[in-house]
Each structure stands twice: as structure tokens, then as C-alpha cells.
Amino acid sequence: MKEYQAIVTACKPLTANVQALTFDIGERAVVRPGQFLNISTGNEMNLLRRPIAICKAEGSEITVCFQIKGSGTASLAKAKRGDVLSVLLPLGNGFYASEREKKIALIGGGVGVFPMISCIRAYCEKKQVYSYIGFRNKDAVCMEEEIEKSTQYTIVTDDGSYGLHKNAVQAFADDFERNTPDVVFACGPTPMLKALQSFMAEKNIPCYLSLEERMGCGIGACLVCVCTLTGGEHARVCKDGPVFNAKEVLL
């Protein structure tokens, strides 16, 4: 975990409202799948850095993909090659598959697909990776060239305009008997994670969910981004997460 003055090398649209930003941190990045970073928007009116999942780390170059949603992400999307942005990384615990877990199911929805891509890249050569990736519609589909590195993958859309007409959790559930995984990783909108949490509740297979929350410091000091665990206590999404055991977290 270190603070860098990163130099932007590319910033281009992936879809109508999702931007891919690549920058160089000047040294080899050691990043686990599912970890995130905190990046300044380049606009000094935005005092908070934006927490974004790391999609790719190649040498000293890191790529994040984010939805343009408010003033901060709109500023960040305007980053130009050569711009310098303050970045803190790598943050959070990330996903981890043990030696014994040889078959991994990945469920990603919306911008939750990007941390799933970091998992595909980390595990596709060593393990069986079954990916179930959901998008809103055909126009939102992106990074299929990364998704197809999975051992097997299913793309679904909410309106059926591309791939199967169902949601990612349904696609996973429909395939569950045939391709039963040893471990499940997921990231996406809360309703999707809730559906998965309930599907996995009675199954004796570990399931890990990556959560999103508005953050302050990004390192666990300010206690802004808490979630509630099943015991009633609070955990910090940035430091204790963002990945939590589905059986231990309340959504």
C-alpha cells in the first residue's frame, strides 16, 4: 500500500458511459484480484479520491474501468495522456482461492464485471474458471476479449439484446449442477449480491462478495465506509473488505 503520483497513459471510452483509464506508477504493481485503489479525479474541487476496483495490472501499468456517474467520475474521464493523478494502492483484501479450490465461479454484474476480470486474469491458467457476466443490454457489453479467457463463460443481458436473456445469478444457478464450483466470487449491484447470497445460503460452498460503499480515507482510519456483519458489529469495507464471506455480511 503506497501513494503514487501516477502518469496517465490512456483514457478511452469502453461503452457510452464506462471509461477505461490506464496509468503508470513507475514500479511493478503487486496486486491481488479484487483489490481496489483510491484515485484523485484531477479536479481540486473534488476533495475525495474515488475508490475503483483494479481491472488489470501489467508491469507498472494499471487499468481501472469506471462508470461516469457524477462530477468526480466525469472529471476523471477527461484525464489526458501525461496527466498526473494521486493514487493510493493496492487497497483492501481482494479475492483468494486456496490450493484446494480448483473450480471458481465468477458472477459479475454491471461495473462489477471489472474486478471479475482481475480474477479471470489471475486464475484462468491455473484453475477452472466459470464466468457468469451480466450487462444491462448489448450496448453495455464490454471486455469480452478478457471474459473469454475463462474456461467457460456465459454473458447475459437484462433485456436479452445480447447473450442469454436472464440475470447473472440465474445463469449461475442454472449451470450449478453441471459445473459445481469449489468457491464463488461475485461483484455487482446489491440486489444481485443478495440473490446470490440467498442462493448460496444452504450450500456448503464458500462464497465471497465484493461490496461498494462511499469512502473517506480508503485505509481504515475514518470509519466512513462500514457494513454490518451478521454478529451486529461493523466492518470497514475499505480495510476489512471489500470482499466478505457471504455468510458473514448483512446486505
Partner 1 sequence: MADLSVNICGVPFKNPVIGASGTFGFGREFNEIYDISQIGGLSTKGLTVEPRLGNPVPRIAESKGVILNAVGLQNPGVEHFIKEDLPWLKTKDVVVIANVAGKTLEDYEKICERLNGLVDMVELNISCPNVRAGGMALGIRPENIREVTSLTKAKLTKTPLIVKLSPNVESIATNARAAEEGGADCISLVNTFTGMVVDLERRRPVLQNNTGGVSGSGIKPIALRMVYEAAHAVKIPVIGMGGISTGKDALEFMMAGARAVQVGTANFTETTAMPRIIREMNDWLDAHGVGSVNEIVNALQMN
Strands 50-58 and 36-39: antiparallel
- Inter-residue contact 32 to 90 (CB < 8 Å): yes
Three-state DSSP state, 207: strand
Q: Pattern 65-84, binding to partner 1, x per CB under 8 A?
A: -------x------------
Residue 200's SS3 state is helix
Determine if 51 is a binding residue for partner 1 (CB under 8 A): no
Q: Which stretch binds partner 1 (CB under 8 A): 106-114, 130-138, 152-160, 225-233?
A: 225-233
CA neighbours within 13 Å on the CB side: how many for 8?
21
Q: Say whether residue 220 binds partner 1 (CB under 8 A).
A: yes
For residues 201 and 222, which CB has a smaller minimum distance to partner 1 in the complex?
Answer: 222
Closest CA to 70 of 37, 41, 44: 41
37 vs 117 by CB, closer to partner 1:
37
* Whole-angstrom distance, CA of residue 66 vs CA of residue 44: 19
Using rule CB under 8 A, residue 215 touches partner 1:
yes
Q: Is 94 in the site for partner 1 (CB under 8 A)?
A: no
Q: Is 25 in the site for partner 1 (CB under 8 A)?
A: no
Q: Which of 93, 210, 239, 249 binds partner 1 (CB under 8 A)?
A: 239
Residue with Cβ nearer partner 1 (51 or 163):
51
Give the total residue count for the chain: 251
At 181, which amino acid appears?
A: P
3-class secondary structure, 63: strand
Nearer Cβ to partner 1 (181/242): 242
Which residue type occupies 113? V
Among 7, 11, 14, 48, binds partner 1 (CB under 8 A): 48
Nearer to partner 1, 87 or 129 (CB): 87
Interface with partner 1, residue 61, by CB under 8 A:
no
> Which residues face 239 on adjacent strands?
none
Cell numbers 454478529 correspond to 231
Site residues, partner 1 (CB under 8 A): 1-3, 40, 44-49, 72, 86, 88, 213-227, 233-234, 239
